[in-house]
Amino acid sequence: MKQDSKIRSYKDLVVWQKGMELVSRIYVITKKFPVGEQFGLTSQMQRAAVSIPANIAEGYGRNTKNEYANFLRIARGSLTELETLLLIARDQSYCNEGEFSAIEKMLNELGAMIYRLRERIVSS
């Protein structure tokens, strides 16, 4: 579902691009986690991060506004899941305060973007 004449693909959406940047950052940070977390926190954080741009893309490819809005809602849910997992990682000293703050800033910005896009879709 297109929102703008300049948008030809979900790849043109800044919100999707920011989601992909977040995925990259999460993969970098989780590489430093203890090996014992490979199938725990590391895996959960990576899956939650990947889910954000994946749901933005899937929603874009759907046929109705309601479906698109639902996938954006799911993306926001994955974002808040990731935020919680990031807090756990920080509390376990798996990431430092600088890494935490940088990713938290990305999460806040991306969350606001998803919210605004969803509101725009729902009200159009």
Whether residue 3 is contained in a domain is answered as no
Angle, to 10 degrees, between the axis of helix 65-91 and the axis of helix 97-123?
170
Query: What CATH number should be reported for the domain holding residue 106?
Result: 1.20.1440.60
Answering whether pTM is above 0.85, one says: yes
Look at residue 1 in the predicted model and tell me its pLDDT. 42
Whether residue 25 is contained in a domain is answered as yes
Into how many domains does the chain fold?
1
Q: Give the CA count within 13 Å in the CB-facing half-sphere of 92.
A: 15
Domain enclosing residue 64, as ranges:
11-123
Angle, to 10 degrees, between the axis of helix 41-60 and the axis of helix 14-30?
170
CA 65 to chain centre: 20
Whether residue 6 is contained in a domain is answered as no
Whether residue 2 is contained in a domain is answered as no
**Which tokens hold the place of 78?**
């994955």
Whether residue 93 is contained in a domain is answered as yes
Residue in the structure block whose two tokens are 């800033």: 105
What are the pLDDT tens digits along the chain (124 aa)? 444 558 889 999 999 999 999 999 999 999 999 999 989 999 999 999 999 999 999 999 998 999 999 999 999 999 999 999 999 999 999 999 999 999 999 999 999 999 999 999 999 8
